[in-house]
């Protein structure tokens, strides 16, 4: 393959994840596998350690029916914690976005994907990302404490007007909780009213109705990764058959599938947090050369151009 594009990986330290997303490590390992281009974004729940201080860019807590969102500054010596409310028109992920952009702006192989919060945003922030060259914006509903029904019509109309793509994390749960309300069906119910192109991460958790809609609607595509951890029995999916990768390549239209590594969540699975870099090889084993070209590069290029 001349081109292999990783469409979804993260850089940074996440408060809920063991592995650090290091840009140096990511580029070193992906280059060994022939990855020629990447779409990289901040981790979903960024934290920073500065001397004796730990800074958490966004945390949320339920107070009855109300959710409050705040930034945390913790003194690691005294354990004193300062809560700072998130301002209405200020994206709480600004620092993570700015640092990632500055790290990758001079590398033509890296495409910058900003992390956005659909309750705290501004037109100026969106326009700044577009000026920086961003073509995709990422929403992680679980990390930012949002379900599709909570998002205003204004937000979606702005995204529609700007004609940027959304990369949406999808989850799944049989219980009515935030994971349940961030499944692909709930997103599709809201998105159906808008002409917004969406890249659904994690193969829409293999929810049958969502599979059917993605296959027949030009506005939608899905990402495969990280196939090892998704194949793990502990990962919530609508369908579990032990052959996640093969199943995806059978049930989705080949023109709807894009390749992603989802670093640093690309682990072996179970209690083994060792990073797995062999997803490129596993996809190659299953697909013909023509199919590989579509999944590794052609589909995402066509999707962004449309």
Q: Give the model's confidence band at 293: pLDDT under 50 very low, under 70 low, under 90 confident, else very high.
A: very high
Q: For all residues of the chain together, what is the average pLDDT?
A: 96
The per-residue pLDDT for 300 is 98
The whole-angstrom separation of Cα 91 and Cα 120 is 5
pLDDT for 111 beyond 90: yes
In a domain, 50, yes or no: no
Q: Within 10 A of 305 (CB to CB), how many other CB atoms are there?
A: 7
Contact indicator for 231, 269 with CB cutoff of 8 Å: yes
Neighbours of 166 (CB within 10 A): 20
- Any idea what the CATH number is for the domain that residue 167 is in? 3.20.20.140
Kindly indicate the confidence band of residue 57, based on its pLDDT and cuts at 50, 70 and 90: very high
Is 77 inside any structural domain? no
| Cα distance between residue 214 and residue 212, in whole Å | 6
Instruction: Using a cut of 0.75, tell me whether the model's pTM lies above it.
Output: yes
Q: Is the pLDDT of residue 247 over 70?
A: yes
Residue 288 reports pLDDT greater than 80: yes
Q: Structural domain tally of the chain?
A: 1
Domain enclosing residue 122, as ranges: 5-45+89-305
Distance CA 184, CA 284 (A): 27
What pLDDT is recorded for position 41?
98
Provide mean pLDDT across the span 61-68.
Answer: 87
The per-residue pLDDT for 197 is 98
266 assigned to some structural domain: yes
- Asked whether residue 140 is domain-assigned, the answer is yes
51 belongs to a structural domain: no
Among residues 174, 112, 173, 179, the alpha carbon closest in space to that of 141 is found at 179
In a domain, 243, yes or no: yes
In a domain, 283, yes or no: yes
Q: Which residue has the higher pLDDT, 114 or 269?
A: 114
Rounded to whole angstroms, the Cα distance separating 147 from 44 reads: 15
- Output the CA torsion 89→95→98→102 (10° steps): 170
Instruction: Give yes or no for residue 306 having a pLDDT over 80.
Output: no
Q: Which residues contact 289 (CB under 8 A, 6 or more apart)?
A: 1
| Centroid of chain to Cα 197 | 15
Q: Provide the pLDDT for residue 1.
A: 66
Q: Is 233 among the domain residues?
A: yes
Q: What is the largest CA-CA distance in the chain?
A: 59
């Amino acid at each position: 393959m001349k081109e292999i594009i990783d469409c979804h990986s993260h850089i940074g330290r996440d408060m809920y994840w063991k592995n650090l997303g290091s840009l140096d490590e990511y580029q070193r390992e992906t280059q060994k596998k022939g990855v020629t281009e990447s779409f990289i974004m901040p981790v979903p729940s960024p934290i920073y350690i500065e001397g004796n201080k730990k800074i958490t860019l966004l945390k949320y807590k339920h107070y009855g029916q109300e959710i409050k969102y705040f930034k945390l500054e913790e003194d690691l010596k005294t354990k004193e914690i300062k809560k700072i409310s998130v301002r209405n028109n200020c994206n709480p992920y600004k620092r993570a976005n700015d640092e990632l952009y500055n790290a990758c702006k001079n590398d033509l192989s890296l495409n910058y994907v900003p992390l956005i919060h659909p309750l705290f945003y501004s037109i100026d922030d969106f326009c700044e990302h577009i000026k920086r060259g961003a073509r995709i914006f990422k929403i992680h509903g679980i990390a930012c404490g949002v379900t599709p029904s909570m998002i205003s019509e204004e937000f979606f109309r702005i995204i529609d007007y700007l004609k940027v793509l959304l990369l949406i994390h999808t989850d799944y749960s049989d219980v009515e909780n935030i994971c349940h309300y961030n499944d692909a069906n709930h997103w599709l119910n809201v998105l159906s009213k808008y002409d917004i192109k969406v890249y659904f991460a994690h193969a829409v958790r293999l929810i049958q109705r969502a599979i059917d809609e993605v296959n027949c609607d030009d506005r939608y595509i899905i990402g495969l990764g990280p196939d090892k951890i998704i194949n793990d029995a502990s990962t919530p999916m609508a369908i579990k058959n032990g052959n996640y990768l093969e199943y995806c390549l059978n049930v989705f239209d080949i023109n709807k599938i894009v390749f992603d590594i989802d670093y640093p969540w690309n682990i072996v699975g179970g209690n083994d947090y060792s990073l797995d870099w062999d997803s490129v090889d596993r996809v190659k084993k299953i697909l013909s050369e023509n199919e590989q070209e579509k999944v590794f590069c052609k589909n995402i290029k066509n999707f962004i151009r449309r």
